[in-house]
Structure 1
């Protein structure tokens, strides 16, 4: 049964820094989201702040405000932001303390570990609550090294990669998973980040808190365990960062170590530079990225678009142009549009 929870975004709900909260609002099997705590958007609906669609999830200014109106309803408080370097800002501490003192368990996806903080640890002990740091690395004995067994696996695997960070890869991956399930295709999604874990997928690993020697093995192990225990027709694997983002290139592991033969590539046409930083360099063209993916050993089967910063007219023109140029489906990523890829995916199942 999903755990009733509130999500802390602390003034960032309208930004991409709240992508963890956004993922939880779009769907989670692990939690029931009762409210978002955000000082700048109190009184509004969280969905309307996120993307203009009402979700009947209220926003409160503080943890105390929520508890005053909803005593005893929440079990857990989740830190719903992903910040540069994964550091916990000082001005979050009082909200976290208020949650712990009210008897709420804390779930944290930042690189700053609450359980290592003497103040939070003492408070948690006093109020008998748990501090879960999702990004705390596994112990050496829990890690898996790559064996090559994945090369014998027959389950169709599709990696959802992107041309940059924070452009909607995980959300598109979820929509593909949902669409296949709705249409009778037995599908699973492997998480590779903290938000995916929070959403409740049974298999995966936290990519950026795994020792580099074991990234390939943890990926292989998650795929093989999913295949063995759930026997899906298709596995979608969430990509992290981008193949050529200089702050943390990633994605080749999914193709090479995870033996994914197919890729759905997510792109944001309005973004010119990696992470919107000119000094980081220009994002390569879609055609060049698809060529690189082919060199790594996978086929790009569709291009999905993050529409931010473009008009509907320009998006339609871009889709038509790129579809003609690439010879693959090109579509704006949305729960409705993704449905059109189901038939294509069904044909790929071995």
Structure 2
């Protein structure tokens, strides 16, 4: 996504909440001046602020046709379905947006550019189709360059999907940069790639090449860096997505890890009980110890579903229990987390 300001409509029928609309919410949080509307027929009349607590008065509208009053030039699919398929309803919205003259940005596994009708329609109307989840071709196999790597790597992991791994990685990167540290962020999902303009959609890569693709991104980002921060995906304890998490970890071979967790949720996205923070941290360390001695240097909690009092109680509980800097970066700022990371680098 280029840096020229756009007028973006976010498509997320039935998914406009703090968990499901990850890509759309990222744009609302970090590029609110470019978002003109959210399309979700189930929440018409609400605003971004009333639903998410940020984003101001960005309106929620019924369909793409309703967005024309705001003159959008880009339609972004804000959420991703299980399996990454584009529903017939979404397809009709995309067609209407193309015919209106909008570029389309999608993070689905079903690629817009492989759809003959959509491709030809986009060519006819002079608009672009961007598939954020299209993997590199040809794929790259691992070379084991982590064994001689000199730049420290921090991998963001979580107790489940949707625990704020991308937001955590991006926030840490920007906060370290603001303090004079040359931090580099590597996106590994559609949201991180869209925000940063680089990275690899690791869950779209053939399993044998996951580690190699992450390794390649780290090698390319190393020159002049003080630290490389890799966006995590899924969870090592999630029955659907653990394979991606493990492949990403073997590609990153992190010197450090940082845990993310939503203390308001007792079940994961598959409706299975979430493991404890301590159990998931120990599992990561056990999986890494055959290769190197990695360590956890902090915890970032996703506390949006809790009151401020409840959230601070969870933060204090985490710090005491795990003897580790804990915060919710978006809600409460650095607290001791960024200082803890900087101490490791010095």
TM-score, normalised on structure 1?
Answer: 0.88
Secondary structure of the residue that 1:273 maps to in structure 2?
coil
Q: What is the CA-CA distance between 1:10 and the residue it aligns to?
A: 2.3
Secondary structure of the residue that 2:220 maps to in structure 1?
helix
Q: What is the CA-CA distance between 1:276 and the residue it aligns to?
A: 5.3
Q: Determine if contact 2:10/2:37 at 8 Å carries over to the other structure.
A: yes
Match of 2:311 among 315, 320, 333: 315
Work out the CA distance in 2 between the residues paired with 1:34 and 1:309.
26
Q: What is the CA-CA distance between 1:90 and the residue it aligns to?
A: 1.4
Work out the CA distance in 2 between the residues paired with 1:326 and 1:343.
17
Q: What is the CA-CA distance between 1:144 and the residue it aligns to?
A: 1.6
Work out the CA distance in 1 between the residues paired with 2:132 and 2:328.
31
Work out the CA distance in 2 between the residues paired with 1:98 and 1:42.
19
Work out the CA distance in 2 between the residues paired with 1:225 and 1:75.
33
- Between 1:219-228 and 1:296-305, the stretch displaced more is 296-305
Equivalent in the alignment of 1:326: 322
Work out the CA distance in 2 between the residues paired with 1:254 and 1:59.
35
Runs of at least 5 residues in structure 1 that lack an aligned partner in the other structure: none
Q: For residues 204 and 313 of structure 1, do their structure 2 counterparts lie closer, same or farther at Cα, with a shift above 3 Å needed?
A: same
Work out the CA distance in 2 between the residues paired with 1:44 and 1:277.
28
Q: Determine if contact 1:111/1:136 at 8 Å carries over to the other structure.
A: yes
Work out the CA distance in 2 between the residues paired with 1:261 and 1:15.
30
Is residue 2:186 matched to residue 1:184? no
Work out the CA distance in 2 between the residues paired with 1:291 and 1:137.
31
Q: What is the CA-CA distance between 1:308 and the residue it aligns to?
A: 4.5
Which segments of structure 1 move beyond 6 Å, counting only runs of 4 or more? none
Q: Determine if contact 2:181/2:226 at 8 Å carries over to the other structure.
A: yes
Work out the CA distance in 2 between the residues paired with 1:101 and 1:202.
26
Equivalent in the alignment of 1:33: 35
Q: Determine if contact 1:255/1:261 at 8 Å carries over to the other structure.
A: no
Instruction: Show CA shifts across 1:239-280 (max 9, x none).
Output: 0000111101043444443221111100122322331513xx
Q: What is the CA-CA distance between 1:213 and the residue it aligns to?
A: 1.4
Work out the CA distance in 2 between the residues paired with 1:177 and 1:55.
25
Work out the CA distance in 1 between the residues paired with 2:80 and 2:339.
35
Equivalent in the alignment of 1:17: 20
Q: For residues 255 and 87 of structure 1, do their structure 2 counterparts lie closer, same or farther at Cα, with a shift above 3 Å needed?
A: closer
Equivalent in the alignment of 1:291: 282
Q: For residues 147 and 60 of structure 1, do their structure 2 counterparts lie closer, same or farther at Cα, with a shift above 3 Å needed?
A: same
Q: Which has the higher contact order (CA 8 A, sep 6+)?
A: 1
Is residue 2:206 matched to residue 1:203? no
Secondary structure of the residue that 1:264 maps to in structure 2?
strand
Work out the CA distance in 2 between the residues paired with 1:183 and 1:56.
32
Work out the CA distance in 1 between the residues paired with 2:122 and 2:251.
40
- 1:1-350 equivalence runs, <5 A: 1-4=3-6, 5-14=8-17, 16-27=19-30, 32-49=34-51, 51-67=52-68, 69-71=69-71, 74-140=72-138, 143-199=139-195, 201-228=196-223, 231-249=224-242, 250-275=244-269, 277-278=271-272, 282-295=273-286, 296=288, 297-334=293-330, 336-338=332-334, 340-349=336-345
Q: Determine if contact 1:159/1:260 at 8 Å carries over to the other structure.
A: yes
Q: Determine if contact 2:134/2:201 at 8 Å carries over to the other structure.
A: no
Instruction: Show CA shifts across 1:121-170 (max 9, x none).
Output: 33223222222222223322xx2211122322221211110000112111
Runs of at least 5 residues in structure 2 that lack an aligned partner in the other structure: none
- Between 1:167-176 and 1:56-65, the stretch displaced more is 56-65
Q: For residues 118 and 251 of structure 1, do their structure 2 counterparts lie closer, same or farther at Cα, with a shift above 3 Å needed?
A: closer
Work out the CA distance in 2 between the residues paired with 1:35 and 1:339.
34
Q: For residues 27 and 283 of structure 1, do their structure 2 counterparts lie closer, same or farther at Cα, with a shift above 3 Å needed?
A: same
Work out the CA distance in 1 between the residues paired with 2:283 and 2:313.
25
| RMSD across aligned positions (CA) | 2.3
Work out the CA distance in 2 between the residues paired with 1:318 and 1:203.
34
Aligned residues: 337
TM-score, normalised on structure 2?
Answer: 0.89
Q: For residues 319 and 125 of structure 1, do their structure 2 counterparts lie closer, same or farther at Cα, with a shift above 3 Å needed?
A: closer
